Amino acid sequence: MDAAEIYREKLDRLEAVIHGKEPDRVPVTAMMSLFHARYAGYTAAETIFDPVKNKEAALKVAHDFDFDSLTVLTGLEATFMSLTLLQTAPDLAPSARFMQGRYHDILKDVYTKWPGRELAEDSHPQFIGKEIMTVEEYGQLTENPTEFLNRVALPRICGALSDPPGSPPNRMPLSHDTERNWEHPMRQWARLFRGGLRSAASRRFRLPGVMPPLSMSLAISCVTLKISSLISTGIPMT
């Protein structure tokens, strides 16, 4: 069976399950964050911060294992980043869902620790968490959730977005004053993230073998301009 036939077989198997039909066998899918790094002989820090090594490690796993689909995600859940973009940049919100190592470098978030930064080179990234609002502020949150997340919570979570020079402290009650001479954290975050997406070169890698293009998603953290972006790349068969 040649590569095109293997590709079609795996894709048909996955699509059968998606459409509620009975496949020829149960599809085998895999999701990993660091297994591919260790399998390829790289440290956690190398695959998280070096997109080329991340790609090479993922492709090695794809070559050596007969998965029907493979997803590599090197980030940590960070829904707050998506929520902060819903109002001003909804098109970017899905891509901002996961905190990546390069996001952490740039945004200086207080929620996570990363290998080669706060942790040893071969450690798994860790979600630490931290209190970023008080009980007294719940009224502001319920009154305008999006505004509160961006004007109060986001600057507290991400040190790089906190209290620009000349701005009111982010602890103050919400205000809709348009005379401020500083950039709203929500707009700053959207601008930086969009700039990263526009500068990142999206690639399609040629893999002679096993994975359907819509089934294998290779998450690559790329440093671009002032922000990094998470790129999901399909890997075609031929």
Q: What is the pLDDT of residues 120-138, one digit of tens each?
A: 999 999 988 788 889 999 9
Measured distance CA(40)–CA(47) in Å, rounded:
10
Measured distance CA(151)–CA(185) in Å, rounded:
6
pLDDT of 175 strictly over 50: no
The predicted pLDDT at position 168 comes to: 53
Mean pLDDT of 46-62: 94
Measured distance CA(76)–CA(111) in Å, rounded:
10
Q: Quick one: pLDDT band at residue 184, thresholds 50, 70, 90?
A: low
The predicted pLDDT at position 205 comes to: 36
The predicted pLDDT at position 13 comes to: 94
pLDDT of 1 strictly over 90: no
Measured distance CA(32)–CA(198) in Å, rounded:
27
The model's pTM is 0.68
- In the block, which residue shows the tokens 């790129």? 231
Mean pLDDT of 49-78: 91
78 or 215: whose pLDDT is higher?
78
42 or 176: whose pLDDT is higher?
42
Measured distance CA(42)–CA(187) in Å, rounded:
37
Of 126, 129, 149, the residue nearest 76 (C-alpha): 126
Give the pLDDT confidence of 149-168 residue by residue, as tens digits.
888 888 888 888 876 555 55
Q: Quick one: pLDDT band at residue 191, thresholds 50, 70, 90?
A: low
19 or 77: whose pLDDT is higher?
19
Other Cβ atoms less than 10 A from the Cβ of 56: the count is: 16
Measured distance CA(6)–CA(63) in Å, rounded:
13
The predicted pLDDT at position 186 comes to: 53
The predicted pLDDT at position 88 comes to: 77
Measured distance CA(222)–CA(128) in Å, rounded:
24
Strands 69-72 and 217-224: parallel
- What residue type is 202 in one-letter code? S
Q: Quick one: pLDDT band at residue 112, thresholds 50, 70, 90?
A: very high
Q: Quick one: pLDDT band at residue 82, thresholds 50, 70, 90?
A: confident
The predicted pLDDT at position 36 comes to: 95
